[in-house]
Amino acid sequence: MEIILIRHTSVDVPPGVCYGQTDVPLKATFKEESSVTAENLKEYFPFEHVYTSPLTRCVRLASFCGYPDAEHDNRLMEINFGSWEMKPFDHNNDPRLKEWYADYLNVAATGGESFAMQYQRVSGFLDELKQKPYKKVAIFAHGGVLICAQIYAGIIHVEEAFRALTPYGGIIRIHLNKK
Identify the pLDDT of residue 160: 84
Contact 140, 58 (CB under 8 A): yes
pLDDT in tens, 113-127: 999 999 999 999 999
Beta strand segments in 17-170, E: 17-18, 49-52, 71-72, 87-88, 136-141
Res 159: pLDDT: 84
Helix-then-strand count for the chain, H and E: 5, 7
Pick the closest to residue 54 from 165, 117, 145 (CA basis). Answer: 145
Q: What is the pTM of this model?
A: 0.96
User: Which pLDDT score, from 0 to 100, does residue 135 have?
Assistant: 96
Ranges under pLDDT 70 in the chain = 179
What's the pLDDT score for residue 29?
A: 98
Over residues 1-24, the pLDDT tens digits come to: 999 999 999 999 999 999 999 999
Residue 163: per-residue pLDDT:
85
Alpha-carbon distance 1 to 69, whole Å? Answer: 21
**Where do the domains of the chain lie, and which CATH numbers do they carry?**
10-175 (3.40.50.1240)
The b/e string for 152-162 (b: 16+ C-beta within 10 A; e otherwise) is bbeeeeeeebe
Give the model's pLDDT for residue 164. 84
Helix, strand or coil, per DSSP, at residue 125: helix
Number of residues that this document lists for the chain: 179
Q: Tell me how many degrees the CA angle 165-59-166 measures, rounded to the nearest 5.
A: 10
Determine how β-strand 2-7 pairs with β-strand 87-88: unpaired
DSSP secondary-structure letter at 177?
-
Return the pLDDT at 179.
61
pLDDT at residue 162 in the model: 77
